Amino acid sequence: MNESEIPIDIHTLKLQDWLISRRIVPKNVQAPIKDIHAKISNALQDMPANDQLIKLLSGSNINYLHVKEIIEILKQTEKDTKSVFGTYGSQRMKDWQEVSRLYEKNATYLAETAQIYVRNVNYEIPGVRKQMTKLEQQTDECLKRAHDLQKPEAQLLAEHAALLEQLGVKGDNLHAEFIEVLAGLPELYKKSLQDIGRVQAGIDLYAEVSGQSQCLPILRHLVEHGNTTVYQYIHKEAPLAIEEPELRLNLSGGSSSKGSENNEIDFGTDDNGGTSSTVSAEIIDFGDLQENDGGNIDWGIESAPTDAVEINFDIPVEEYGIVVEGTGMDGGTAKGDQAYTLLDSPSYRDRFLDETYELEAFLRMRLYELNHLESSSNIMFSLMDNIATHDSESIGKILADVERIIQQSSDEQTRHLFQLKHSPKYADLLASKLQQMTKAVDKVRQTQELMKKRAVELREQRQQLNPVLDELIAQTRTLQEYIEKDISKRYKNRVVNLIGGVN
């Protein structure tokens, strides 16, 4: 085979070492290249106004190939300074011709061209591609995060809607809506106690087993009289009038109930600390009752002096402001906590729930005993078997009624409205919670928009790198072809292949 047909394969990473080992370029070429770049900087200070030059100089750093192009352009712009001997009188041309000669000395141009080519292949092009890949990943991450935020947004909206549904409000005007929905609280109490009569058998069974005939007093009262006022439960008679404490909703931002400008609750207590406008026997001190020798009652009145004023006992009691309670269903005025119904009173509601849970626990235990009585020899179970007023089926029905009462009395809406009525700060807590949910939804939506906007910006940055990469690849291919041709001329036009270049 002819030697000229044998190709020369040079790996890109070893190109510079290959040129030095073949003595084509000197080992130390950085010093002359630095001097050349200084002369190029000086030459660029004086350039003619030419579109081709402007386009050429607006690109990357000037190398030997650019210098050759600049000289060709100057041959057209400086042709008037050319002499008959072929030399140019223009200083611009002389400066660039000097730069060209310095490049060609010791093949400095080839060393620099090889450096630029290797740097582009190993660093510049991979760096741009890596940056493009990173931008694509960041774009996908932003879009994914924006998509993932839809789940917490939907969750927050669902929780917000669920809380509004539990409260029975729309959320437009919380103060007015709270007052309106609280008016339906008695109906909820009535609904929860609609099957209260069915548990009477369970109460009687519990009394029979425990031996306490007056057990579960509140449940007994609710079965017999319904959800009456606390006043009626205490005094065993209905009040003539009911004056509940004024409702106060402590909403921040100036939202408070009408008539409560002093932000205090009037519990309606009198000066004596009582809760009724009538004067009871507990308030009036009649003194000690004693019998004298004559069998008369000593009212504790000492003998008045002769000049004392005579007491007139014929004055009507109405003039003293004393209200005498009637008999039967007549009574006084229920005020303060006694004006609430049993299920609406904070203290009595807790006692009602305690008694209901107590009855539920008893029925569960009794049902367990009945189900395991036949297979057990426990003495206690045998003794319990003597109380056979109910079988497991009837106990199960009573237990289901008790559980239904507990569930309806303690559902979410009832608990929210109860707290709302009796805790002035609870309204503000609910309003704050609803407001926080709304703010959280707005924040999630803002974050979504930011993520989408950021994804668009990253995509635009990725698109802007396309021409940069294309220019780098075109420049590198040009350098590769130039190096291959230059080396080929030095080795009798043999084919030169730079391996590991750009694809």
User: Packing angle between helix 412-422 and helix 426-490, nearest 10 degrees?
Assistant: 120
pTM: 0.58
Give the pLDDT band of residue 374 (cuts 50, 70, 90): low
292 in helix, strand or coil? coil
Instruction: Say how far apart CA 118 and CA 122 lie, in whole Å.
Output: 6
Question: Stretch 15-25: mean pLDDT, rounded?
Answer: 92
Q: What is the pLDDT of residue 174?
A: 75
Give the pLDDT band of residue 281 (cuts 50, 70, 90): very low
Top pLDDT among 67 and 325 is at 67
Q: What is the pLDDT of residue 252?
A: 65
Contact predicate 57/44, CB 8 Å: yes
Whether residue 134 has pLDDT greater than 70: yes
Candidate from 74-78, 165-169, 200-204, 263-267 with smallest mean pLDDT: 263-267
> pLDDT digit string (tens) for 468-484?
999 999 999 999 999 99
Whether residue 215 has pLDDT greater than 70: yes
| Most confidently predicted of 35-49, 125-139, 186-200, 378-392 | 125-139
Residues in the chain: 503
Q: Which of 462, 360, 374, 439 is nearest to 406 (CA)?
A: 360
| Domain ranges across the chain | 229-301+317-340
Instruction: Say how far apart CA 200 and CA 204 lie, in whole Å.
Output: 6
Q: 325-355: buried (b, 16+ CB within 10 Å) or exposed (e) per residue? A: eeeeeebbbbbbbbbbbbbbbeebbeebbeb
Q: What is the pLDDT of residue 496?
A: 92
Give the pLDDT band of residue 1 (cuts 50, 70, 90): low
Q: What is the pLDDT of residue 274?
A: 39
Q: What is the pLDDT of residue 271?
A: 40
- The encoded tokens of residue 452 equal 């989408």
* DSSP secondary structure letters along 110-156: HHHHHHHHHHIIIIIHHHHHHHHHHHHHHHHHHHHHHHHTHHHHHHH
Please name the residues in contact with 480: beta carbons below 8 A apart, sequence gap of 6 or more: 117, 498, 501, 502
> pLDDT digit string (tens) for 296-317?
444 344 444 444 444 444 544 3
Top pLDDT among 10 and 411 is at 10
496 in helix, strand or coil? strand
Give the pLDDT band of residue 375 (cuts 50, 70, 90): low
Whether residue 371 has pLDDT greater than 60: yes
Candidate from 208-212, 235-239, 315-319 with smallest mean pLDDT: 315-319
How far is the first Cα of the chain from the last one, in angstroms, to the nearest whole number?
30
Give the pLDDT band of residue 236 (cuts 50, 70, 90): confident
Alpha carbon of residue 304 to chain centroid:
81
Please give the mean pLDDT across all residues of the chain.
78
Q: What is the pLDDT of residue 105?
A: 92
Whether residue 18 has pLDDT greater than 80: yes
Q: What is the pLDDT of residue 74?
A: 86
- The encoded tokens of residue 432 equal 């704050």
